[in-house]
Amino acid sequence: MAIKATENYSPGILSLLPLYYVGWSDSVLSPTEIKFIHDKIDSYSFLNPDEKTLLKSWADPLNPPSPTQFKSWGNAIKAHSKNIDDNKKSSLIELGIEMARQGIGLDANNIWQAKDTRDSLIEFKEILGVNAESEHLFVNKLFPEIVIDDTCTVCEFDSNELKMLLDGEHIELKDRVRQLLRDPFFDQTYEPNKDIYRQRILEQTKKLAAQGLSAYSFPKKYGGYEKNGDHIA
């Protein structure tokens, strides 16, 4: 018998319901992504044919879920998660698995404890592009009583590594320009007089030109360096 789109969802539907709830509210799916999602749903062994049919019908950009459908999903998630620990509600994967495990008439120690099932849910989450921020928004909306501790415990990073990543192959040139601009001659001080300000900018530009910075984009036959990448950097 076909599954009806009510709040009495089967375990297979419940396992993916949190991901659908967040994914539809946070994503725009292309035709290629839709086909990929349909193919993945068909490949999941923890879903029966009726569950696959319903889930694929929900992944239709031409017929997105209505506000009533969204509300139904939210109500179902809240109803089926009443007996689930708060720490598992903070993860879409854990929440889906726990709701499925508590489904009626299913061996909780079989499908829903299998590594393949968990890996499939993680894969589906990645397909939908659901990130940590989306999970936090989901928890705040459906479970406002849960306080998520997102305090940064390791908030350090190597600024030199970031600099090397951003500067790329032009790191030496950029270091040279930074060094030049540290000279007091290039200080940016407020000047209300337009003519004085223009003259100062002209002098600063001449100094940069004297360093050869204005010649990077020009051909060598005109006295340039033919280094377009450098001149953009």
Mean pLDDT computed over every residue of the chain: 81
Distance between start and end Cα atoms, the chain: 64
pTM beyond cutoff 0.75: no
- Give the pLDDT confidence score for residue 90 in this predicted structure: 84
CA 75, 79, 80, 86 dihedral sign is positive
Q: Using pLDDT thresholds of 50, 70 and 90, give the confidence band for residue 29.
A: low
Provide the pLDDT for residue 1. 40
Contacts of 208 (CB under 8 A, 6+ apart): 180, 214
Residue 144's nearest CA partner among 97, 89, 83 is: 89
Q: Cα(229)–Cα(20) distance, rounded to whole angstroms?
A: 44
Say what the pLDDT of residue 230 is: 65
Q: Is 145 exposed, middle or buried (0-12, 13-18, 19+ CB in 10 A)?
A: exposed
Pick the most confident of 91-100, 135-144, 205-214: 91-100
Exposed e or buried b per residue across 89-123, where buried means at least 16 C-beta atoms within 10 angstroms of its C-beta = bbbbbbbbbbbbbbbeeeeeeebbeeeebbebbee
Nearest to 44 by CA among 97, 110, 118: 118
Lookup: tokens for 25: 């509210």
Q: Which of 92-96, 180-184, 188-192 has the highest mean pLDDT?
A: 92-96
Q: How far is Cα of residue 190 from the mean position of the Cα atoms in its chain?
A: 41
